[in-house]
């Protein structure tokens, strides 16, 4: 459980600052994309809403203080638009990673338009169709989690199937949240294996079904965390279910992939690749 | 609904390529952080798993073909680690945004370690405690969505409250997925307003409760999309509920913010800022 109140301790790794004149979402997303490349822990400090000179100077002081305390210069990811504030921030004794100077300014020139930050317009994302589609996709995916509803499956962009705890739910929610896809998910359960038939409500939608499988060993480990010692979690039962599920998917001609050593981001990327989505990003 | 099969059309905007030697998650996250700064639509093409010279040359051809078709050079976000493959890709007639050359290489020097990509180690994220905490947080947040379960609320990192459709569910799931926080959410309903008392199962956890409110006009709009013409969705009822909910939160001394014009990312950032989370990023 994260601890919100304890101040950062010295052994928590290099200090990383995310400095923004807004909420800091962009600075953080960008910083995380870079930091995930390093197998280290970082001590993160968010400095959002740095929108005047006084706050910029305060940020400089805080970064310099971290340098003094750590004995190592902090990494500073920043998305300050105003050149004056950016110049103040760059006085801090940190390693500066400036998203705007590096990428957004050249891209403004290339595209021949100003970025929404630069023109200082409050970007009310909640007005956009894309945003509302994402929220709608989250609601759809929740309502169609774990086979809860067979209604309106024709509206689904994708239907994930697989044994219980093969990763369907987090993958569905991730695809809905990040890509605005309406993803239903449907468990393959012992009753299906006994009948030896793929769940019939789904057969009409074969084109948009994608299977997740998982190694029986990993599945037993995950299930044991919830229901230790149960038949449900036993390696023998997991072997049986995975084996039957794979056989059933193969017989029905359904594409699948293994979630065993993949993160939800990786599973999502592979499914999207498979679906050859060419929809616009925003 | 996204269309997986139609080829990109000419009027869908500038072509943007995400080129990666892996799944492309990093290239995409990075690219999105930059592109969201522009109020334009882009035609996205993912080129994952570009891990040999043949595929790198094929990528170059595809980018050049897009240039020819669009009449504008494509934007190319890339995260190729191997210098040889990166050099081939840079022959393409695009505007190159290279995450590794720009940020990761300098950071390797600064930190005195190689990035996980550079050392070519398959990064099995699913082994990490942080990843498993995220999955556990998603499961917790789902089980505690919409006041479904009052059990184990002491394990919650955060409890969101607010009227129905004020944004609690997507915010909870986003905080779980992105930050590994266990977020319960609990609706404030007409029965609470009639009793005039904050829901009693929650009172013991006041320190970790955060409220979401919303303008009655926006709330009526959202509710009408689901249940058009109902009393539930009427502006009059929405005014009553929002008013009562705000009064109840104020009386109980609960912090809150308005979700009216905020994206879930922005709401999450503001809540985290309020909670002053200093937990390590990874």
* C-alpha A108, offset from chain centre: 27
**CA B99, A108, B262 angle in degrees (round to 5)?**
85
Q: Which is more confidently placed, B277 or A102?
A: A102
Among B residues 54-113, those touching chain A with beta carbons less than 8 Å apart: 73, 75, 95, 97, 99, 102-104, 106-107, 110-111, 113
A282 contacts B42? CB cut-off 8 A: yes
pLDDT tens digits along B105-121: 899 999 988 887 665 54
| Average pLDDT estimate for A7-27 | 74
**CA A135, A140, A143 angle in degrees (round to 5)?**
125
Among A residues 248-267, those touching chain B with beta carbons less than 8 Å apart: 260-266
Q: Could you give the angle at which helices A168-179 and A264-275 cross, rounded to 10 degrees? A: 70
Q: How many residues does chain A have?
A: 282
Q: From the CA of B238, how many Å to the nearest CA of chain A?
A: 19
B126 contacts A261? CB cut-off 8 A: yes
Task: Indicate whether B237 pLDDT > 90.
Answer: yes
Using alpha carbons, list the distances in angstroms from residue B218 to A50, B16, B225: 29, 34, 11
Its pTM stands at 0.77
| Average pLDDT estimate for B119-144 | 77
pLDDT at A81: 81
pLDDT at B12: 61
Q: From the CA of A204, how many Å to the nearest CA of chain B?
A: 18
pLDDT tens digits along B208-236: 999 999 999 999 999 998 888 899 999 99
* DSSP 8-state class, residue B180: -
**Phi/psi class of residue A133: alpha, beta or left (left: φ > 0; alpha: ψ in -120 to 50)?**
alpha
Report the residue from B6, B30, B37 with minimal CB separation from A116. Answer: B37
Long-range contacts of A67-74 (CB under 8 A, 24+ apart): A67/A15, A67/A93, A67/A94, A69/A10, A70/A10, A70/A14, A70/A15, A72/A14, A72/A15, A73/B110, A74/A14, A74/A15, A74/A16, A74/A17
pLDDT tens digits along B181-204: 999 999 999 999 999 889 988 988
Q: How confident is the model at residue B278 (pLDDT cuts 50, 70, 90)?
A: very low
Residue of A nearest to B39 (CA): A116
Task: Indicate whether B282 pLDDT > 50.
Answer: no
Could you report the predicted ipTM of this complex, rounded to two decimals?
A: 0.75
Interface with chain A: mutation pick from B130, B224, B282, highest number of A CBs within 10 Å: B282
B34 contacts A104? CB cut-off 8 A: yes
Nearest to A271 by CA among A208, A202, A206, A201: A208
E strands, A48-88, where? 75-79
Q: Which two tokens stand for residue B30?
A: 């990075």
Instruction: Give the separation between CA B247 and CA B253, rounded to whole angstroms.
Output: 10
Q: Which two tokens stand for residue A54?
A: 């006084």
Q: Which two tokens stand for residue B86?
A: 């990166």
pLDDT tens digits along A161-199: 999 999 999 999 999 998 899 999 999 999 999 998 899
Tell me if residue A45 falls in helix, strand or coil. strand
pLDDT tens digits along B142-178: 999 988 888 889 999 999 999 999 999 999 999 999 8
Task: Indicate whether A55 pLDDT > 70.
Answer: yes
| Average pLDDT estimate for A233-241 | 97
A138 contacts B46? CB cut-off 8 A: no
């Amino acid at each position: 459980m994260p601890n919100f109140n304890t101040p950062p301790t010295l052994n928590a790794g290099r200090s990383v600052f995310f400095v923004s004149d807004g909420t800091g979402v962009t600075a953080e997303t960008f910083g995380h994309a870079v930091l995930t490349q390093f197998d280290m822990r970082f001590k993160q400090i968010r400095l959002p809403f740095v929108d005047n000179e006084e706050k910029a100077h305060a940020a400089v002081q805080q970064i310099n203080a971290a340098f003094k305390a750590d004995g190592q210069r902090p990494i500073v990811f920043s998305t300050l638009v105003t050149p004056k504030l950016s110049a103040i921030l760059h006085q801090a004794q940190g390693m500066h990673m400036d998203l705007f100077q590096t990428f957004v300014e050249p891209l403004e020139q290339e595209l021949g338009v100003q970025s929404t930050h630069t023109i200082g317009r409050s970007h009310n994302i909640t007005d956009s169709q894309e945003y509302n589609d994402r929220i709608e996709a989250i609601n759809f995916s929740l309502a169609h989690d774990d086979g809860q509803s067979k209604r309106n499956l024709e509206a689904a962009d994708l239907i994930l199937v697989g044994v219980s705890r093969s990763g369907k739910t987090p993958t569905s929610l991730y695809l809905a949240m990040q890509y605005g896809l309406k993803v239903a998910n449907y468990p393959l359960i012992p009753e299906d294996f006994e009948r030896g038939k793929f769940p019939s409500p789904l057969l009409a939608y074969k084109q948009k079904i994608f299977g997740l499988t998982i190694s029986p060993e990993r599945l037993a480990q995950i299930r044991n965390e919830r229901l230790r010692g149960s038949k449900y979690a036993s390696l023998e039962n997991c072997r049986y279910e995975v084996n039957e599920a794979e056989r059933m998917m193969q017989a029905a001609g359904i594409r699948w992939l293994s979630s065993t050593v993949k993160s939800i981001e990786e599973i999502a990327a592979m499914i999207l690749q498979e679906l050859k989505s060419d929809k616009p990003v925003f």
